[in-house]
Amino acid sequence: MRHLKYLLIVACAVCLAACSDDDDFQESILGVAPEPQTELDNWIWDNFTEDFNIRVVYKWKTFEVTPELNLVPVEEQRVIPFLDVIWKVWMQPYIQLGGEVFFKETAPKQIVLVGSIGFMEAGVYLLGEAERGRRITILGLNTRPLDRMRVEQFTHDFHHEYIHILNQLKSFPPAFETISAGEYTTSWSQYSHTQALQMGFISNYAMADVNEDFAEMGSYFVYATANGWENRFLTAGQPGSEPYRKLKEKETIMLQYMKSMYNIDMYALRALVQEAMSKVIAEL
């Protein structure tokens, strides 16, 4: 046994000696030269990476996305128009209210853009996801032209995913979980928005789980006008009804969370987002 250990030590020493001999290295067969930067790469660097440390992934790398969804890359001509919208309806409002330090601390370090929608089980598809508090993936950029509906969808989807990021950094109060405890369902897509509202959820997707419920409350709050927001509550039921009460409790917790944890006044944020959306749509 002692001889065997000795032989193994000698073998390892020979191996290390061989690996440390720089003269034996040949030119690598792997491509190590940096990838040439395009005008689009330079634009992303100037507007997102240099100042905010946000890496935008748009070139097709299969390991960046979920392989089982059978996705396709984003068309390059759609990248800048999308990022310009996101800058105006998401980044600028949060920076204006919270400041650059706050935004740099909370913004995702990576934004992944995908051309196709992530179709899952029947009637369910993936438009975005937030991961580990540092990455947002947006899907379906190739599916339709940039119009009013698209701007509204991008505004809602990105604010939804960003609220996930904020929640992953600082958890929302446990009291939020108790309001609709036992009513979340994986079959949320079988309910209409009206049915969801009448059960105390701001949308049918909010029924998926408590994290989606919270993110939908925040994203719909800034995406909808003040009148539109109140109309959703009235669709749920008259003031004093059980669904209306649930929505009001969720709204209160969401507003207090954003103010206490991040010093973000959601009413002021909604005003800025609504103004930005109107300007973007008017310029289409």
State the average pLDDT over residues 34-53. Answer: 92
Residues 265-284 pLDDT 10s: 999 999 999 999 999 999 99
The least confident of 4-18, 30-44, 184-198, 219-233 is 4-18
Kindly indicate the confidence band of residue 22, based on its pLDDT and cuts at 50, 70 and 90.
very low
Report which of 203, 201, 96 is spatially closest to residue 157, judged by C-alpha positions: 203
Q: Does residue 26 have a pLDDT over 60? A: no
What residue type is 85 in one-letter code?
A: V
Residues 109-153 pLDDT 10s: 999 999 988 776 666 667 788 886 789 999 999 998 999 999 999
Q: Does residue 18 have a pLDDT over 50? A: no
Q: What class, spelled out in words, does domain 38-144 have in CATH? A: alpha beta
Q: Where along the chain do the CATH 3.40.390.70 domains lie?
A: 38-144, 170-284
Residues 200-239 pLDDT 10s: 999 999 999 999 999 999 999 999 999 999 999 999 999 9
CA distances from 242 to 101, 201, 238, 239, 245 (A): 41, 11, 9, 9, 5
Q: Tell me, what's the pLDDT at 11?
A: 40
Strands (E), 158-225: none
The label of the residue with tokens 């701001």 reads 202
Q: What class, spelled out in words, does domain 170-284 have in CATH? A: alpha beta
pTM of the model: 0.84
Q: Which residue has the higher pLDDT, 256 or 131?
A: 256
DSSP secondary structure string for all residues of 263-284: ---HHHHHHHHHHHHHHHHHT-
pLDDT, averaged across the chain: 86
The pair of structure tokens assigned to 65 is 């996305």
